[in-house]
């Protein structure tokens, strides 16, 4: 995996956000967006997905965390690819722990395919996280839960789920179903699901403001 884009903290970094982009994108776009809502003591890590042929996109090669086999992710899923990418993300978390940032001071997030991977990784890692941000996404391999989630470290970790009400690629009902499934596995009172009227498969200023408030709440200043 190539070197991620890092938005350095404005002063000593005491916390980190690892944010995973969507299909066909790179870490650069989200690095720019996160810079606009940066918190001074937080560093933002935006990795790039590897290039691979994507079945749903006529096997075109593009940045992708795992293969998308069908528009309806419940029908056919790249289980091996999802699990392999989740292990890579867990490696990123471990790297930050080695760098001196405890996992409880790390928020894992992502948009679309990246958000799906962030959710799956948070439910399967043994590292306790500060929070999870899942934008315009679904819950992959949900049929493997609660088996895969037994004894999970993040059953009480706050989750912010956001979705555009006019999303034509991943309809908001898909996000709602993911939220319902998550509520059967984690504490419902720590999960927030918010929709945005008129928003397609993208982000907006209101959503970014909500993400910033979530980061500030669950990665508070330590000095």
Which residues carry out catalysis? 112, 167, 201
Closest by CA position to 4, among listed 31, 35, 38, 34: 31
d(C-alpha 203, C-alpha 209), whole Å: 11
Instruction: Give, as one character, the DSSP assignment of residue 201.
Output: S
Instruction: Give SS3 for 51.
Output: strand
d(C-alpha 48, C-alpha 207), whole Å: 22
Pairing of strands 60-63, 51-54: antiparallel
- Cβ pair 156, 190 in contact under 8 A: yes
d(C-alpha 104, C-alpha 119), whole Å: 16
């Amino acid at each position: 995996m190539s070197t991620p884009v890092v938005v350095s903290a404005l002063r000593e970094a005491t916390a980190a956000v690892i944010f995973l982009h969507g299909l066909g994108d790179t870490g650069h776009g989200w690095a720019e967006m996160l810079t606009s809502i940066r918190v001074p003591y937080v560093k933002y890590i935006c990795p790039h997905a590897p290039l691979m042929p994507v079945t749903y996109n006529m096997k075109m090669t593009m940045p992708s965390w795992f293969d998308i086999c069908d528009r309806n992710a419940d029908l056919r899923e790249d289980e091996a690819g999802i699990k392999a990418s989740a292990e890579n993300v867990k490696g990123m978390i471990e790297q930050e722990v080695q760098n001196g940032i405890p996992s409880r001071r790390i928020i894992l997030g992502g948009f679309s395919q990246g958000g799906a991977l962030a959710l799956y990784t948070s439910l399967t890692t043994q590292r306790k996280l500060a929070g999870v941000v899942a934008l315009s996404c679904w819950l992959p391999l949900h049929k493997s839960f609660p088996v895969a989630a037994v004894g999970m470290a993040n059953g009480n970790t706050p989750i912010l789920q956001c979705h555009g009400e006019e999303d034509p690629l991943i309809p908001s009902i898909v996000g709602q179903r993911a939220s319902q499934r998550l509520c059967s596995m984690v504490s419902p009172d720590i999960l927030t699901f918010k929709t945005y009227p008129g928003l397609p498969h993208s982000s907006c200023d209101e959503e970014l403001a909500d993400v910033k408030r979530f980061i500030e709440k669950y990665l508070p200043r330590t000095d």
